[in-house]
Copies of this chain bind each other. A is one copy, B any other.
């Protein structure tokens, strides 16, 4: 358990595949965040990356509430988001300097009909956000374990917006900074993914052969 933040970051890299963008391999989701603020230019950059994501009908259904600890006027959102986190999320997330809530308009603006793709599109925008953060030396962890009613009420989110996820943003911290031993163990565990043979099919359930 004596691994440093740098050692953990190395351990968490996905195996290199030649030609794949470095950020795809570098991005992972820590729970330990360093006591270091995110500069405003970098906040601008991560939202700029999110803004150019694809969306159904170019609806751009996403809206973001930006919470920054101890920085007015963003500290109020930060405090309210943190208060709504459930279980051990509150414990680790309180070390992150930035918490962002993503919500989506549930209707298409051009015709008022339900937009069934809004959360899918938010997922794309937040992937842009997370990859851009990685490119800047920052790191993110997205979390869905929060009290939605409390978030909606305390942040005055209109009923036509659907709550998505909260993303913690900051610099990776030392794993030893996590007090909870279970979270510490997860912080230093290797990342795992299903192999492509379980994910990409040439007919349902039949692995696609992606080798020449």
Contact = CB atoms under 8 A, between A and B. Distances in A.
A208 interface: yes
A211 B40 contact: yes
A210 B47 contact: yes
Contacts of A131: 21, 127-128, 131
B48 A17 contact: yes
A187 interface: no
B117 A165 contact: yes
Interface string A125-147: 11110111001100000101000
A56 interface: yes
A159 interface: no
Contacts of A21: 23, 49, 131-132, 135
A73 B20 contact: no
Given A127-B54, A144-B56, A155-B204, A63 B199 contact: yes
Interface of A is mostly: mixed
Given A124-B123, A124-B124, A212-B40, A20 B47 contact: no
Contact of A65 (B76, B193, B201): B201
Given A52-B193, A74-B208, A155-B203, 19 more contacts: A20-B48, A25-B52, A44-B210, A47-B200, A54-B130, A62-B199, A63-B201, A65-B202, A66-B201, A66-B208, A76-B203, A77-B202, A77-B203, A119-B120, A120-B164, A123-B123, A125-B127, A128-B131, A156-B204
Interface of A: 14, 17, 19-21, 23-25, 27, 29, 39-45, 47-54, 56, 58, 60, 62-66, 73-74, 76-77, 116-117, 119-128, 130-132, 135-136, 142, 144, 155-158, 164-165, 192-194, 196, 199-204, 206, 208, 210-212
